[in-house]
Chain A
Amino acid sequence: MSEGWSFGGSILTFAFPMLLFIVVAVALYILYTKPVVVPGHRTSTVEHPVSHTAIPGTPMVTESPAPGPGDRVAMDAAPAADGENAAPEVQE
């Protein structure tokens, strides 16, 4: 357990792991921060669509059924902010 070990040991037990961590962190960032490149990623869907109250005097459109899971137009009409206020993502 000499000074030589101390220097080599510092490389082995501090510098190298830190470098490795940085490499892994960068790889994770590049690979998985963009939803489009995440395998099997599905866009957030709104579990309970927010209802709205009609403004008095506004002509009401005939009632349409609640949007189904595959109704892309209805989903897109109620976008959630990225990562915030999105509905829970339980995907069954």
Chain B
Amino acid sequence: MKTPTGAFPADASGVFGPRPAASPGGRRSAGALARGLVALTKPRIIELLLVTTIPTMLLARHGVPSIGLVLVTLAGGTLAAGSANTINCYLDRDIDAVMKRTARRPLVVGGQGTVRPAEALAWGIALGAGATVLLGLMANWLAASLADAAILFYVFVYTLLLKRRSPSNIVIGGAAGCFPVLVGWAAVTGTIAVPAIVLFAVIFLWTPPHFWALAMKFRDDYAAAGVPMLPVVATASEVTRKIVWYSYAMVAATLALALYAGWIYGAVALGLGGWFLAEAHQLHSTVSRGAASRAGPDPGPRPLPMRLFHLSITYLTLLFVAVAVTALLPWGRW
């Protein structure tokens, strides 16, 4: 297994990693650099993280918090997630170059190659510092501490400790993605309460089905990079069985929130959960049937995983829309 920086020797300036692609004349345009820095933050992932933050804040208040606080929390959450994602890109640039899905990232030579590794690291640290100061001064220090914990967890526990070593990498490491709900709750109330922990559980249990479905699709990519995602080290039917387990646990967690969010939310969560479980079971039965009909060492077919992947995004979005709407309704609670 390569070390994070092992693939790239230090250059004369002591900076590890490849030299970025330069435009003719050897200079990068400011626009290209800015685009590269933004791309390092993985904006689409941040978008999904923020989808969970606003409904959590509404639920914490059982109403609308001040717009200023919402904007500060979103900005702080964006900076924190951008920081974690940027440092992740910095540390994983060697395997990103190997994987087709990530080969176009700004730190990868042959891709956009517009950002130097040292610049990326400095950018990631600056974003994290910005998140801490913003949340600490404008919301509260518990929210800031939780955002910092998410960055540190993602960088040290997921990226450096688990990702290249354990098939449970995304299960445990995925907890970093659960922190936005804690940050949102803490920003509003100054504490953490049981509903926030339940929401944390919902995202924690949602992450494996979501990510393993993606990893099934890109199994060869992960295998080439030496990343032991579950679909790389286990049979497809084993993966889909785990997806089903986690899906049941996730739906149970969503229903537990109904005790706090009310029966209308509970009804929506039940309907959405049934939809998700049906899709997870369909994936598992299709894969198992395919595996049973095959002989030899082939791990089996990999149909429909992206369908579950896309469904999982829609599912989480709708679930949190339900949280937000029912938090604003004057009726519908027990």
Q: Place the interface of chain B in its size category.
A: 35 or more
| Residue contact B235 to A1, C-beta cutoff 8 Å | yes
- Say whether B197 faces chain A, with CB atoms less than 8 Å apart: yes
- Say whether B201 faces chain A, with CB atoms less than 8 Å apart: yes
| A76: min CB distance to chain B, Å | 17
- Say whether B104 faces chain A, with CB atoms less than 8 Å apart: no
Question: How far is B191's CA from A34's CA once the two chains are assembled, in angstroms?
Answer: 7
Render A44-85 as a binary contact track against B, CB cut-off 8 A, 1 for contact. 100100000000000000000000000000000000000111
- Say whether B311 faces chain A, with CB atoms less than 8 Å apart: no
| Given A9-B234, A13-B230, A25-B200, A39 contacting B245 (CB threshold 8 A) | no
Render B145-172 as a binary contact track against A, CB cut-off 8 A, 1 for contact. 1000000000000000000001110011
Q: How many residues of A contact B (CB 8 A)?
A: 38
| Residue contact A6 to B66, C-beta cutoff 8 Å | no
| Given A16-B168, A25-B201, A90 contacting B138 (CB threshold 8 A) | yes
Question: How far is B141's CA from A41's CA once the two chains are assembled, in angstroms?
Answer: 8
| Residue contact B140 to A9, C-beta cutoff 8 Å | no
Query: Which stretch of B1-9, B182-190, B267-275 is in the interface?
Result: B182-190
Across-interface contacts of B63 in A (CB, < 8 A): 84-85
| Residue contact A39 to B142, C-beta cutoff 8 Å | yes
| Residue contact B233 to A21, C-beta cutoff 8 Å | no
Across-interface contacts of A41 in B (CB, < 8 A): 140, 142, 190-191
| Residue contact B193 to A40, C-beta cutoff 8 Å | no
Question: How far is B186's CA from A31's CA once the two chains are assembled, in angstroms?
Answer: 13
Q: Which residue of B lies closest to A21 (CB)?
A: B204
Across-interface contacts of B299 in A (CB, < 8 A): 1
- Say whether B258 faces chain A, with CB atoms less than 8 Å apart: no
Given contacts A5-B233, A35-B190, A88-B61, 17 further A-B contacts (CB under 8 A): A1-B238, A5-B234, A6-B238, A14-B246, A17-B171, A21-B201, A21-B204, A29-B192, A32-B191, A83-B62, A83-B189, A88-B69, A89-B140, A89-B189, A90-B138, A91-B140, A92-B138
Interface residues, chain B, with chain A CB atoms under 8 Å away: 60-63, 65-66, 68-69, 72, 137-142, 145, 166-168, 171-172, 175, 182, 186-194, 197, 200-201, 204, 208, 230, 233-235, 238, 242, 245-246, 249, 299
User: Can you name 11 A-B pairs with beta carbons within 8 Å?
Assistant: A1-B234, A9-B167, A12-B167, A13-B168, A13-B208, A20-B172, A21-B204, A24-B175, A41-B140, A41-B191, A47-B66
Top 3 nearest A-B pairs (CB, nearest first) are: A88-B66, A40-B141, A32-B192
